[in-house]
Copies of this chain bind each other. A is one copy, B any other.
Amino acid sequence: MSQLFDTVALIGIGLIGSSISHATRRAGLARRIVGAAKTEATRATALRLGLVDEVFANPADAVKEADLVILCVPVRACGPVAAEISKSLKPGAILTDVGSVKGSVVADVGPHVPAGVHFVPGHPIAGTEHSGPEAGFAELFDGRWCVLTPPPGADNAAVDRLRSYWKGLGSNVEIMAPDHHDMVLAITSHVPHLIAFNIVNTAAHLERVTESEVIKFSAGGFRDFTRIAASDPTMWRDVFLTNRTAMIEMLGRFTEDLLHLQRAMRFGDGETLFRMITEARHIRRGIIEAGQDTAAPDFGRHQGGSAAPATGQKS
């Protein structure tokens, strides 16, 4: 892949920002990567790991020479950061983000985008349960999808260039309207996370089963929920607050379906339960066939201990 940008600015250097850096360097997509991070610790780590060539405390300083600016901060931080950098953005630059909710980013960032800067919101659908600049790795986006939600009348050349960049990072790219993106992500990501956080907390507050029993016997399925539930609190709080309309709609369906199954259990309706279980397996096969997961038996986790760690990943 050839160089697409001279200078890329990463505003926020956590799991996603650091992975973008690794993947940008892997493919040689930029001559120079600069970054901004709020804490001194993150700035030091980013320099030490070579994630950025230069790092700033103030995002406005980082964006001055950048032809691509990527907001890699929690969703509700995007608006305030956009206000801070607004006057420093270079004419002709592309401004994008990686937020999991697009409607709120469009609403919060849009008003701060100066004329001559191309705002193309984005969302790479990839992640791990780890956070921070040391959690990133170059392969995170390989074979995953990145959704771009360009506003009506967006500059085609800018959209195409950002699309090429994400392809260079390893992703497939899809264009979508922000509202539809938020609906799709509510069911494929946001509600599953809320449910995972919720059941972990339900388990922690039972009177008849102790927390140490929950931990000890978690291999029966529960630990898979705790893995999702290990994700970053600020990021997820922001998602839950900004995508609440779509999520509450999906949660209504989820609860209705769950009560239906609970009733089938209560009245011994094995046929309904069997049919529901069988249908769920069908979707699982689709996901493996689409290359979005592997069929290796993960519950056993018998390979977990010996798996080789990726570059820069937390131990």
Q: Taking chain A's interface residues, is the majority helix, strand, or loop, or is none over half, making it mixed? A: helix
Q: What sequence of 0s and 1s flags, for each residue 183-226 of chain A, a beta carbon within 8 Å of any chain B beta carbon?
A: 11101111111111111111111101101111111111111111
Any chain B CB within 8 A of the CB of A32?
no
Q: What sequence of 0s and 1s flags, for each residue 146-175 of chain A, a beta carbon within 8 Å of any chain B beta carbon?
A: 010000000000000000000000000010
Do residues B248 and A265 form an inter-chain contact, with CB atoms below 8 A? yes
Do residues B266 and A229 form an inter-chain contact, with CB atoms below 8 A? no
**A233 to B284, alpha carbons, bound, how many Å?**
13
Residues of B within 8 A of A140 (CB): 300, 302
**A139 to B297, alpha carbons, bound, how many Å?**
12
Q: A226-B283, A303-B307, A310-B297 are in contact. Are A195 and B195 (CB under 8 A)?
A: yes
The residue in chain B whose Cβ has the minimal distance to the Cβ of A210 is B184
Do residues A277 and B233 form an inter-chain contact, with CB atoms below 8 A? yes
Any chain B CB within 8 A of the CB of A293?
yes
The residue in chain B whose Cβ has the minimal distance to the Cβ of A286 is B215
Q: A223-B293, A230-B281, A302-B310 are in contact. Are A250 and B217 (CB under 8 A)?
A: no
Residues of B within 8 A of A270 (CB): 237, 241
Residues of B within 8 A of A279 (CB): 200-201, 204
**Count of chain A residues with a beta carbon within 8 Å of a chain B beta carbon:** 120
Do residues B290 and A313 form an inter-chain contact, with CB atoms below 8 A? no
**A250 to B199, alpha carbons, bound, how many Å?**
10
User: Could you say how many copies of this chain the assembly holds?
Assistant: 2
**A145 to B278, alpha carbons, bound, how many Å?**
28
Which of B126, B194, B265 makes the CB contact (< 8 A) with A261? B194
Residues of B within 8 A of A294 (CB): 301, 304-305, 307
Residues of B within 8 A of A224 (CB): 192, 224, 227-228
Residues of B within 8 A of A125 (CB): 217, 219-220
Do residues B215 and A254 form an inter-chain contact, with CB atoms below 8 A? no
Which of B185, B244, B301 makes the CB contact (< 8 A) with A266? B244
Distance (Å) between the CB of A213 and the closest chain B CB?
Answer: 5
What are 28 A-B pairs with beta-carbon distances under 8 A?
A: A126-B219, A127-B299, A128-B300, A139-B300, A187-B202, A187-B203, A187-B206, A188-B220, A188-B222, A197-B261, A198-B254, A201-B276, A211-B283, A215-B292, A223-B293, A224-B228, A226-B280, A226-B287, A228-B299, A229-B283, A233-B277, A233-B278, A241-B268, A241-B273, A244-B265, A293-B301, A297-B310, A298-B298
